[in-house]
Amino acid sequence: MQAQQARSSTKKHSRPRSSLLHIMLGVAAVAIPVITVLLVYEIGNGSIPSIQAYGLNFLFTSDWDPFPANGGPPILGALPSMYGSVVTTVLSLILAVPISLGVALFQAELAPKQVRAPSLFLVEMLAAVPSVVYGLWGLFALVPFMRVYVDAQLGSKLGFLPIFAGQTDGIGMLTAGMILAIMIIPYASSVMREVISAVPTSQREACIALGATKWETIKTAVLPFARTGLIAGVVLAMGRAIGETMAVTMVIGNVARISPSLFLPAETIPSVIANEFTEVAGNGVYLSALFELGLILFGMSFLMNLAGRVIISKLGFKAKQ
């Protein structure tokens, strides 16, 4: 009888705690969409004057002249910065994804225990380095290296291709893509490593029992099983790359230009906002154009993540079949 009374008393005391926990979790779950809606509202509201002034031409105009010499209204267009953002992001993914996958496979499948822990620590340390530090390193170390050993060699051997033509001074989209690749490798490799580690041991044992080598096991059992998670790592890295600001601003050159050459200076949406946000006092349309650039960047990130989600869902459905 006393035991039953003790249990009922414990249940009564646990109910308020459980209700409080549910309320806290509900608030946390609602907070994210509320913050997102407020963010979009503020950026969209700030973009209204620019949208009214330029309309869709803002997306397809290559000129960026906030203070025309004739004293007329600003001539502003987002196309050069959109082009630079897409090119540098694609470059960084081309460079970073194979390296990230190799790092993840090494840490999850091949590394000895004595090497695995230091390797994990170094990768996590790279992820913790501030972007401005990457920018300083890129400006004083990566730019000279690219100018002497990469750009010059590519220009001399492949200069007949438009993407490797033009002046090679180390400042440009190729350098920006390189530093972005270095920055996103820790994020992509960490996600890929966790996904690969989560592959059931039975998958590997079945292949080994059939006489497969270590590489054949990875190729036939591990990578197909983990492909949805690997795509998720790429999507995460892509979102990190397209929104990066300081490191890219310090090595890309910040010129409103659309050129096929990867050697020439360009600009990205975050670099334009970072460089010019302090110059907009007293110019409402100019400030609104920067808000609209932020809205465009948000839209690009949303579409990229949506495309990644669609790919993941399709691959997951095929895997279940």
Q: pLDDT tens, 252-300?
A: 999 988 999 999 999 999 999 988 877 664 567 888 999 999 999 999 9
Q: pLDDT-based confidence at 7, cuts 50/70/90?
A: low
Query: Per mean pLDDT, which of 8-12, 80-84, 236-240 is the most reliable?
Result: 80-84
Q: What does the angle CA 73 – CA 44 – CA 42 come to, to the nearest 5 degrees?
A: 115
What structural domains does the chain harbor?
75-320 (1.10.3720.10)
Range 113-141 average pLDDT: 89
Q: pLDDT tens, 175-213?
A: 999 999 999 999 899 889 988 988 888 888 888 888 888
DSSP annotation of 266 reads B
Compute the distance between CA of residue 135 and CA of residue 138 in angstroms, rounded to an integer: 5
Compute the distance between CA of residue 314 and CA of residue 135 in angstroms, rounded to an integer: 38
β-strands 64-65, 75-76: how paired? antiparallel
Percent of the chain exceeding pLDDT 90 equals: 37
Compute the distance between CA of residue 9 and CA of residue 165 in angstroms, rounded to an integer: 79
| Nearest CA among 267, 94, 259 for reference residue 178 | 94
Neighbours of 45 (CB within 10 A): 12
Residue 65, strand partner residues: 75
Are 246 and 135 contacting, i.e. CB atoms less than 8 angstroms apart?
yes
Query: What is the pTM (predicted TM-score) of this model?
Result: 0.86
Q: What letter represents residue 191's amino acid?
A: V
14: pLDDT strictly greater than 70: no
Looking at residue 11, its pLDDT comes to 52
Looking at residue 68, its pLDDT comes to 82
Phi, psi torsion values for 195, nearest 5 degrees: -65, -45
Run of H or E including 124? helix 113-128
Compute the distance between CA of residue 103 and CA of residue 101 in angstroms, rounded to an integer: 5
Token output for 313: 């869902």
CA 90, 96, 184, 29 dihedral sign is positive
207: Cβ–Cβ under 8 A, 6 or more apart, which residues?
Answer: 216, 217, 220, 221
Tell me which of 73 and 36 has the higher pLDDT: 36
Range 26-46 average pLDDT: 89
Tell me which of 67 and 257 has the higher pLDDT: 257
- What is the 3-state composition of the chain as percent helix, strand, coil, each rounded to the nearest 5? 80, 0, 20
98: pLDDT strictly greater than 80: yes
Quickly list DSSP for 174-205.
HHHHHHHHHHHHHHHHHHHHHHHHTS-HHHHH
Q: What is the mean pLDDT of the chain?
A: 86
Range 155-172 average pLDDT: 88
219: pLDDT strictly greater than 70: yes
SS3 at position 253 = strand
62: pLDDT strictly greater than 60: yes
Range 308-317 average pLDDT: 70
5: pLDDT strictly greater than 80: no
Q: pLDDT-based confidence at 169, cuts 50/70/90?
A: confident
Q: pLDDT tens, 103-117?
A: 999 998 888 888 888
* Total residues found in the chain within this entry: 321
Range 86-104 average pLDDT: 94
CA 131, 142, 92, 290 dihedral sign is positive
Range 54-76 average pLDDT: 85
253: Cβ–Cβ under 8 A, 6 or more apart, which residues?
Answer: 171, 172, 264, 265, 266, 267
